[in-house]
Structure 1
Amino acid sequence: MLSFDRLSGDSGCIELDFLEREATPEPAMKLGIRLHLAGLSLSDTVSVLERLGVDRHRTTVHRWIQKADLQPTGGVDPNHVAVDETVIQLNSEQYWLYAAVDPDTNRMLHVRLYSTRNSAVSSMFLSELREKHQVDDAVFLVDGAPWLHAACHRHGLRCQHVAHGNRNAVERFFREVKRRTNQFSNTFSHAEPSTAENWLQAFAFAWNQLT
């Protein structure tokens, strides 16, 4: 579970390029974003802001997170990369959350949401991961999913079948995502896929800040 006692860290990495269109003071916006991504519900986040004299609606805080366009930063050169996918319920449809994590640091490297899972989608995910990070020399830790093995082979990446061990890093991230989405009855309701993916990427960003 993400810890609130580390929210006092630097929030300067949250860029608010849309700030000129907002009446809320920048420190309050950054605090609202960090509180929600660290575990507070939107309602509880609004309550904290109200105690600080900032009266905003839940949808406003949600909009800040969407517009901030947060996601894990690039340029990492890991020795290992754990890759996996899990089901995310979006309204009445099932989507697949792909995630890559550096198990040596527990930091998320890349997160994407897809409507299906297969070797083509897995290859697309790895292609984006390679553009974002220096992973060509890393050992990819995957489970027995043939689509992940095929995608690694297509990109000429070394992969190792690991059931537990270092792959637990990505499983911990998935457990926390599902703990949070349980607050929405384990589904993103009334949300477009791009909106859900934006939130998941922002959550991965917060995970790295608090890891």
Structure 2
Amino acid sequence: MKGVKTRLLGITRSRTVIWKWIQKFSILLKCRIADDLPKVIIVDETNLQVKDMNLWFWYAIDPETRKIVYYKIIWNRTSLACKKVLPGIGEILWKIT
């Protein structure tokens, strides 16, 4: 499948580039993902600029271990977008109660 292109988040990239990115990112995340869910979390977002687009990387971390509990990438930073992120975090945290 040489030369096959994949469209991810509106950007065309080769499958090899995407595969390599996933491999690198998964290695970094492996040591940063929390094993147990905390009682308290910190939620924040970071702007990711990809060419002429702005994406938002939302994440929740355990303040004691600084490990990631939840993350999601979305297209905008509106109140509606925030309402989509928070239920995802809630679903994870409510599983432990």
Gap runs ≥5 in structure 1? 1-57, 138-211
> What TM-score comes out, normalization by structure 2 length?
0.60
User: Which structure's residues are more often helix, by fraction?
Assistant: 1
Residue 65 of structure 1 corresponds to which residue in structure 2?
23
Change in 2 beyond 3 A, CA 1:100/1:88: same
Q: Using CA pairs below 8 Å that are at least 6 residues apart, which structure has the higher relative contact order?
A: 1
Q: Is the 8 A contact 2:58 2:85 kept in 1?
A: yes
CA positional deviation for 1:75: 5.8
Distance 1:103 1:132 in 2: 16
- AA matched with 2:93: H
- AA matched with 2:20: H
User: Which structure's residues are more often strand, by fraction?
Assistant: 2
Q: Percentage identity across aligned positions?
A: 21
* Alignment RMSD: 3.4
Distance 1:61 1:131 in 2: 29
Q: Is the 8 A contact 2:34 2:67 kept in 1?
A: no
Residues 48-197 of structure 1: pairs in structure 2 closer than 5 A: 59=17, 62=20, 65=23, 72=33, 76=37, 78-134=38-94
Change in 2 beyond 3 A, CA 1:59/1:130: same
Change in 2 beyond 3 A, CA 1:60/1:91: closer
- Computing the radius of gyration from Cα coordinates, the structure with the larger value is 1
Q: Deviations over 1:88-131 (max 9, x none)?
A: 01121111111110101111011111110122211211111112
Gap runs ≥5 in structure 2? 1-15
SS of aligned partner of 1:89: strand
Change in 2 beyond 3 A, CA 1:90/1:99: same
Equivalenced residues, count: 77
> What TM-score comes out, normalization by structure 1 length?
0.30
